[in-house]
Structure 1
Amino acid sequence: MNHALATLIVSSVTTFLLPLDYTVASVALRDIHRDFSVSFSDQQWVINGYTMAFAALLMAGGGLADLFGRRKVFLSGLAVFTAASLLAGLAPAMLWLNVARVAQGIGAAGMFSSSLALLIQEFTGPRRVHAFAVFGVASGLGASLGPFIGGLAVDLGGWRWAFLLNVPFGIAMLVLGLLRTRESKDPDATRLDLKGLMLFSGAVLLAVYSLVMAPQMGWTSPTIVSTLAAAAVLAIAFVPVELRRSYPLIELRLFTDRTFLGASLAPLVLSIAFWGLFLYTPLYFQGVLGYSPLQAGMAMLPFAVPLFGAGPLGARLAGRISSRALLAIGQLLVAIGAALLAFAPLYSGWTDYAVGGLISGLGTGLINGEMSNVAISIVPVSRSGMASGINSTMRIVGMTAGFGGIGAVQVVAVSHDLTSRAGRLHGLHRNLSALATDVATGNINGTAASVPTPVRGAFHAAANHAFATGMRAAFLVGMCVALLGAAASFTLIRQPPSDTASDAVGTQPLSGVQA
């Protein structure tokens, strides 16, 4: 097996595992709650701990990869991720599981931040376009198939297998990577921008914490307001530090290039509009329709199926139409799919969601690879680790923003609908706000069990209607975000697809941007 093929296999398989691990845990939460008898907010850290570590350290991984070697950072991250997956699957207590999930996020940051840089090194020209298409398909499939694979694992072997299934794949890719991938790094790198790293990672960590906790604590709570303000202060302080650096963690002048800005916004938008909604839909199937984890995972397959064929189709289209047109079309399809989902009948089963899911999945699959190709091809190859880190950070922060921001929309819509329907039920008016927050997380049966028996049936019906109404509001927000993203891509991105795939872009930055 040659180095290029081995690199593509290792990058794609591990990239499949990373978003898979984000979504697979969502269908295991109910069984984890049953085994450890913890609160719903405590068990949410199974997802939040992974997400926060992943997002906060992505740029650190990119900087380390350019300085010490992309292969070295990638394989180190893979080793940590695999070992942490084993520890998570064997966890005897909730604290052990949450610590293991944080460790998984740390390993994932090292892997994901350097995987694109490894591909840049091995592929040029049209072959790079196709390699990025395969990479995009792997990433999309990992996220889309997460609920199905997680549901299958939980139903057949218990929640521990949602994490243990990473171990054999991780070991196999670690062996292949050690044997057949090649090292590269930035020859001009002299030292890591530690001050910039601390400011940026701190800002991302606080921002992600605010986004994941705001749906539970409320956007106006003192904790959320304080952490958001602190994140803003660190982000503002980061800018002058980076502008003074000769070798910054992030070359901020890249964002003055319209094409780089447009290509960097695309993964942010797509993660909010598609993946943010995707993470909530299984909660609807399980909470409102009563599906098992496996049934909920199967109901999500219409979102995933188009990704099998849309990636190669997107690679072929990239050679025929401009990058800005392709990215705009993909996001427009996501908006159309979200609109169809929003206007599906309340209490819809999976068949009513199938068409909207197929169209959204098609749009996502078409551009998953091209988004990365356009952004990273603008940057000199020597700084591809940094560019990979930026692109990956945009994806993960967007996914978190989608989950948190759309979660806030969900809570508001659920609270409004539940108040109007259950507000007159005896004994509930004082606790309705807290009950609505619990309902918005999908824990409908558990919330209904906590209310007085005489009104339990009426409350359960009201809660089902409120959650379905909240999902409709969330889909409408996703539609608007995707439309704005399509307009931004078409307006900002300038160069034709032949430029993004050429070898020249690896050495000549566009628009006079110096990296």
Structure 2
Amino acid sequence: MTAHTRPHSTAEKLMILAAVCLAALAMPISFTGPAVALPSIARALGGSPVELNWITNAFMLAFGSSLMAAGALADNYGRKRIFLTGLVLFAVFSLALSLVTNLIWFDILRAAQGLASALAFSGGMAALAQEFDRHERTRAFSLIGITFGIGLSFGPILSGFLISHFGWQAAILVTVPITVVAFCLGAFRLRESRDPDALGIDWPGAMSFTLALTLLTCGILQAPDIGWGHPLVVGMLVAALVVFGLFAVIEHCVARPMLDLSLFRYPRFVGVQLLAAAPAYSFVVLLILLPIRYIGVEDFSEVQTGQMMIALSSPLLIVPFLAALLTRWFSAAVLCSVGLLLSAAGLFWLSRCMPGQPVELTVPALMLIGFGISLPWGLMDGLAVSVVPKERAGMATGIFSTTRIAGEGIALAVVSALFTALLSWKLGAVLPVGVETAQAAQKIATGNLASAMSLLAPVTREAVLQSYGDAFSHLLQILAEITVVTAFAIFIVMRIPDRETATA
């Protein structure tokens, strides 16, 4: 509830919207920037492949696992307060990241940066919902999604330019001035609001959910290094399942659960969760894997890599608007399913593009993936609300955001581990019997080809690149197959009628 003294003018509402949009812009840049900088960070700070993987996974894990808890904090202690606190912490941690000289501390600060992002995002979105009503709110939330697309589209090339001229630290610091402007606008125009019926934070639920995700991610990331059958890996994965079960029990028993499990009785709501997770393995993982491939393996410059990534993500600037127009003639289920099928076709096309081939053969495949994923991208947020009764919309949005972000973190861990295993398998086919390939595969998968070559002598660079290309191709084909299955599953589930919900 907000203590209104007078309604905000249109100009004031635009300033509030700008504050939240700028905060949202900083987050995808913080995600893609370190991916482009990963080879430079590895050269500067060293570290094992597992530690390097945590540069991206620590941010996404902390962000995704704390979104719902951050939303509860905003409802209890004030949306403006949590939004501004998140922005301040985000800027402080970004500054600290540019100064560290140890990769372990870098990973810890990346997790802290993810927690701060969750506070800023949840507080900002909750505050925005108080300032806009009905159709204005829908348009405002759509603009947030477009802002994310801008960050994903131009983040890589901006980061590449900054890294090539000023070093990897510049890719981290670029978000600080954006955050400062967002803070000033928010502090100046946002009004404080909170939920008068809030009953406190579901700490047992929040802690068990975060612990389960952490155990799952740690187990997956450790597996390529020590083996899937190692007692530590098996123990962490089993513990993750147990804690997830404990989380479900907790949420079923508490009066105000962080996650209302009863929403999953709506089939179309389940379909929306599938839709939220789909971009993670059909698009988002490429924002990490491709810069590592282009810079660390194919010797592209950071700027060249940024230009390639624009081909992948630039459709996010235009196609979501097209998707919104197409809903006049086609259902959201059809558009989302067709988009995922196009993305799957692009993934298969990209799987045929081996290292060293002209970029002219790769760019169309990247654009097709980006075009395909952009069709559901502009519809997902609205669907998250429309498939449940309107009084459950707030909880549905929180679950949707958590599924999307946490799904990206899990997908990154799974795909990284799978790619390392595929690469080790392909390298084993060209190496003498008895030569250990796991360590070399991990180094190549994180962009450290030069170091890996010292472990693979006397195998030629050309043979290693062929093995890398085969493994990458196999991985993309698997992702394409999963995306096709998801497209058909979403089409079927989203068309199940439900008299309790609005029609998407």
TM over 0.5: yes
- Specify the code of the residue in structure 2 equivalent to 1:468: G
Find the partner of 1:218 among 227, 233, 239.
227
Q: CA offsets per residue over residues 341-388 of structure 1, 9 Å max, x none?
A: 122355334322211111111122222232122113456777655434
Aligned twin of 1:470: 471
Aligned twin of 2:3: none
Q: Retained in 2: the 8 A contact 1:20–1:143? A: yes
Answer yes or no: is 1:165 the counterpart of 2:174.
yes
Residues 285 and 251 of structure 1, relative CA distance in 2, 3 Å threshold = same
Aligned twin of 2:116: 107
- Seq. identity, %: 31
**Displacement, 1:174?**
0.6
Residues 345 and 199 of structure 1, relative CA distance in 2, 3 Å threshold = closer
Aligned twin of 1:197: 206
Answer yes or no: is 1:17 the counterpart of 2:26.
yes
**Displacement, 1:154?**
0.9
2:398 and 2:225 map into 1 onto residues whose CA distance is 30
Aligned twin of 1:503: none
Residue-pair matches, total: 493
1:299 and 1:270 map into 2 onto residues whose CA distance is 19
Answer yes or no: is 1:87 the counterpart of 2:96.
yes
Answer yes or no: is 1:401 the counterpart of 2:410.
yes
Residues 125 and 486 of structure 1, relative CA distance in 2, 3 Å threshold = farther
Answer yes or no: is 1:274 the counterpart of 2:274.
no
Residues 75 and 381 of structure 1, relative CA distance in 2, 3 Å threshold = farther
Aligned twin of 2:310: 301
Q: CA offsets per residue over residues 386-422 of structure 1, 9 Å max, x none?
A: 4343222212222223222222332232122211122
Aligned twin of 1:449: 454
1:119 and 1:387 map into 2 onto residues whose CA distance is 16
Aligned twin of 1:488: 489
**Displacement, 1:236?**
0.7
- Specify the code of the residue in structure 1 equivalent to 2:315: P
Secondary structure of 1:137's match? helix
Q: Retained in 1: the 8 A contact 2:267–2:493? A: yes
Aligned twin of 1:502: none
Answer yes or no: is 1:178 the counterpart of 2:187.
yes
After TM superposition, the structure 1 = structure 2 runs for residues 330-479 of structure 1, keeping only pairs within 5 Å, are: 330-345=339-354, 347-378=356-387, 386-423=395-432, 429-452=434-457, 455=458, 458-479=459-480
1:51 and 1:485 map into 2 onto residues whose CA distance is 22
Find the partner of 2:295 among 276, 286, 290.
286
Answer yes or no: is 1:132 the counterpart of 2:123.
no
Residues 381 and 197 of structure 1, relative CA distance in 2, 3 Å threshold = farther
Secondary structure of 1:247's match? coil
Aligned twin of 1:28: 37
Residues 485 and 85 of structure 1, relative CA distance in 2, 3 Å threshold = same
Aligned twin of 2:6: none
**Displacement, 1:477?**
1.8
- Specify the code of the residue in structure 1 equivalent to 2:489: A
Aligned twin of 2:7: none
**Displacement, 1:114?**
3.9
- Specify the code of the residue in structure 2 equivalent to 1:510: T
Residues 391 and 214 of structure 1, relative CA distance in 2, 3 Å threshold = farther
Q: Retained in 2: the 8 A contact 1:334–1:360? A: yes
Answer yes or no: is 1:38 the counterpart of 2:43.
no
Q: Retained in 2: the 8 A contact 1:186–1:383? A: no
Find the partner of 2:501 among 475, 487, 510.
510
**Displacement, 1:313?**
1.7
Aligned twin of 1:315: 324
Residues 95 and 338 of structure 1, relative CA distance in 2, 3 Å threshold = closer
Q: CA offsets per residue over residues 246-285 of structure 1, 9 Å max, x none?
A: 2111111111112221112211111122112332112221
1:327 and 1:436 map into 2 onto residues whose CA distance is 36
- Specify the code of the residue in structure 1 equivalent to 2:379: E
Q: CA offsets per residue over residues 227-257 of structure 1, 9 Å max, x none?
A: 1111111111122221222211111111111
Structure 1 residue runs of 5 or longer lacking an equivalent are 500-507
**Range 229-238 or range 366-375, more displaced:** 366-375
**Displacement, 1:128?**
4.1
Residues 85 and 386 of structure 1, relative CA distance in 2, 3 Å threshold = farther
Secondary structure of 1:243's match? helix
1:489 and 1:182 map into 2 onto residues whose CA distance is 39
Q: Retained in 1: the 8 A contact 2:50–2:221? A: no
**Displacement, 1:89?**
1.6
Residues 194 and 41 of structure 1, relative CA distance in 2, 3 Å threshold = closer
1:295 and 1:242 map into 2 onto residues whose CA distance is 48
1:285 and 1:491 map into 2 onto residues whose CA distance is 38
